[in-house]
Structure 1
Amino acid sequence: MIRRTITFLAWAFIIIGCITIVFFLFKSSHEGFSAALNEATNYTVSGQFGDFIGGVVGTLFALAGTLLIFLTFREQANQNSRNEIENRRNSFERNFFQMLNIHRANVGELTYKKHRKGKENTYEKRQVIKVIFDEFTDCYREVTKFSSSEDIKDYCNPDYQGKLMGIVARINPSISLVEMARIDIAYLVMFYGLGEEGEVVLRENFKKKYKPEYYFRLLFFLKMKPKKSNHDRYQKWKEVREMPLPELSVLIDVLYPDRNNLKKVDPKTYAGGLKLHLFYEKYYGGHQFRLGHYFRHLYQSYKYLNNRVDICDHEKYAYGKTFRAQLSTYEQALIFVNSLSTIGMRWEYFPEETVNERVRTDLITFYNLIKNLPGEHIYGIKYDTYYPNVDYESREQLFQE
């Protein structure tokens, strides 16, 4: 609009100037003024003529020139601004797709050796994610069996219980606090493992949230599980795992008091026959060195995209969708349970501060990061209970039917 106005005024001044010249020449000729070559020039009269042209018409042309110069500078400034925006977008896209390539490389570098079906197998790339997620589900079932009470007070400290209740109030009243606690414990055990270092980290993490009389015994129970390569001991573990909870509780009560010197347990008893005093590799060895970098990079990639204030939400979602297309179903499932654990709640439940208050912080929901999860739940953990506003693919298929 401004450009059209300035252009109109400049041309108006030029036209008025030209009309003024023509009119003045016509009027001068009509009054007897002549500039013929065969006549002497009257410099007094012609000088006055020049003064008029320079003073009146020249001013109009000067105004027109000034407006056109201003318009040129303005167009140049706009072009520079457009170039800057384009350069920023190009820089963003280079960084974004470089992050995408790094994610692919992170997945491509994953390897895991695990005993299965009587032999040691080597898993690579996305196969590793599936095996790790299977370990989470194993641990979740075992934690659930050991944690039979549905009263959150039996597990959590009051402060952490209040924190979980805050999530329920904000997200969905149907969320089970006990289920959230089980998910958190199972994920952290899978992530850190139950080796010496892993157990130290777990105890430090758990003491801020859970009651020691609960999680001490739970960790002892989970540590009893050996790797499958230790066939005889693993068969004994399966017997223990299949015990009814009252019998299992009695067994733990027998073993736990002598946890620091299990040689004292009577070898003639069933508890002594487990030979827990002998060295064996724990089933849950931990995956922090595999998943730590994987999740840090994945989260930072989405945070980098999300904090761009020069990109609208529609475009952000399109870029995020491109990244999500690289995630397998098991990767999305692992993101789901990671986001419900205390080390992954920054995805949505307890987000980090953003660069602008208008930037959304619900990364799982906004980018539909778990959109492609099959069915409605994982071993009873319903997706839409924790993320009710995600546009799940399974829900879309249901509507289509």
Structure 2
Amino acid sequence: MLLVSSTKRMENEILKRKPVDSRYEVFKEPNWWQKWGLEAFIILGGLATINLIFFANAYTETDTVNPENAAQLGDFVGGYIGTIFTLISVVLLVSTLKNQIEASRIEKFENKYFELIKMHRENVTEFGTDKYNGKKLFVLIIREFRLIQKIVKEVATDLSLSFTDEQFFSISYYVLFIGVGPNSSRMLLKALSIYGSNFASTVEKKLNDEETKDRYKKERNLEYTPFEGHQSRLGHYFRHLFQAISYVDDQKTYINKYDYVKTIRAQLTTHEQALLFINSLSPIGKSWNDIKLIARYKLVKNIPEDFFDPQKEINLTSYFPSDYFEWQENQTASS
């Protein structure tokens, strides 16, 4: 029994000494003062106020005590103790009200939180083609993205232009998101103008060709015509996803934010997480990295190793700590 108790104490000490990884969102239990500071202030302030009576002249003008004064002292002590109990009652009442307010805040938060999750599911359900609907469509979107990336690299090579892997991802996502067409081409040319007007117009011209679209649609088994953009799908999808996660992140109550966001992450398929990462690399999705939501909440931790070819596409691990991904955690646990 003594050995078990000693071992338990050692484990507790180790847990206390374990450093908190500030790279990720970690739930911090409120300390004693945060939990009971108001109650402690009321007790200490109340006791100090009650004991001020001892400084009155009636209790300091003589050192002798007679029976009559003793009786009066007894009445005083009774009243004094009663006042302390009254003070304790006030403290308990304040504590109860404080806990009720906190519980009400959490309940209000959770009601909206689960409503946001429900809306997210409904948004995904609305995605679809004749054969692919909901989350399955993200498989085709990633397939189209890789096709666009291939074409963009070919254009860059033909024009003797050199871009980083991240720039290729950003350019390809612009094309995927905006697309080409009567209105989309104008928007795309403006978005890609920072990479050179000749490059932008060449990419637009190559993609805005009906024969090219039909050929790649058949080659890549796409259920829709490629290169026509996904603003109507992905625009509100990512806006709503960002709203849901930032809503949790903005909470001031003492909740485990990581666990709540983990529930949202569990709704995302591998291809959704991959597309979220791609989105975050472009100016369209820069807000994700501005407040480090993807890093702190490990929003893309379930992307498998080598999902993106580190040689031909992008080195995913260079953007995150060495223990970020699920497969990295598994490797660490097995070693």
SS, match of residue 283 in structure 2: coil
The correspondence for 1:370, drawn from 300, 309, 320, is 300
Whether the 8 Å CA contact 2:116–2:244 is kept in 1: the answer is yes
Letter in 2 for 1:372: N
> 1:220 corresponds to which residue?
205
Where does structure 1 lack aligned partners over 5 or more consecutive residues?
A: 14-47, 113-120, 156-176, 239-280, 352-360
Q: Structure 1 pair 309/150, CA: closer, same or farther in 2 (3 Å)?
A: farther
**Is 1:92 aligned to 2:78, yes or no?**
no
Instruction: State how 1:307-386 maps to structure 2 within 5 Å.
Output: 307-311=250-254, 315-348=256-289, 351=290, 361-379=291-309, 380-386=313-319
- Give the alignment's TM-score, normalised by structure 2: 0.72
Instruction: Report deviation, 1:52.
Output: 4.5
Change (3 A) 1:365 1:371: same
1: CA distance, partners of 2:225 / 2:273:
27
Which of 160, 163, 166 is equivalent to 1:180? 166
SS of aligned partner of 1:196 = coil
2:182 is the counterpart of 1:196: yes
Q: How far 1:296 moved relative to its partner?
A: 0.4
Distance, in Å, in 2 between the alignment partners of 1:64 and 1:191 is 73
**CA distance in structure 1 between the partners assigned to 2:307 and 2:210 by the alignment:** 26
Identity across the alignment (%): 28
8 Å contact from structure 1 (residues 371, 391) kept in 2 = yes
**Equivalent residue runs for 1:105-184 within 5 Å:** 105-112=122-129, 121-148=130-157, 154=161, 178-184=164-170
**Do 1:223 and 1:282's aligned partners in 2 also have CA atoms closer than 8 Å?**
no
Deviation at 1:221, TM superposition (A): 1.8
How far apart in 1 are the matches of 2:82 and 2:303? 65
Structure 2 CA distance for partners of 1:214 and 1:220, relative to 1, 3 Å: same
Name which one, 1 or 2, has greater alpha-carbon Rg: 1
Secondary structure of the corresponding residue to residue 378 of structure 1: coil
In 1, the alpha carbon distance for the partners of 2:72 and 2:327 equals 80
Q: Structure 1 or 2: larger helix share?
A: 2
Deviations 1:225-249 (A, max 9, x none): 6476x4xxx28x98xxxxxxxxxxx
- 1:205 equivalent to 2:191? Answer yes
Give the 3 Å change call, closer, same or farther, for CA 149–381 of structure 1 in structure 2. Answer: farther
Write out aligned runs for 1:381-392 (5 A): 381-388=314-321, 391-392=324-325
Aligned length: 269
Residues 225, 337 of structure 1: alpha-carbon distance in 2 compared, 3 angstrom cutoff:
farther
SS in 2 for 1:343: helix
Give the whole-Å Cα distance in 1 for the aligned partners of 2:106 and 2:187: 42
The one-letter code of the counterpart of 1:99 is L
TM-score, with structure 1 as normaliser: 0.61
1:149 Cα offset (Å): 8.4
Q: Distance between the aligned counterparts of 2:159 and 2:169, measured in 1? A: 14
**RMSD over aligned Cα, in angstroms?**
3.1
SS in 1 for 2:132: strand
Q: For 1:225 and 1:104, how far apart are their aligned partners in 2? A: 34
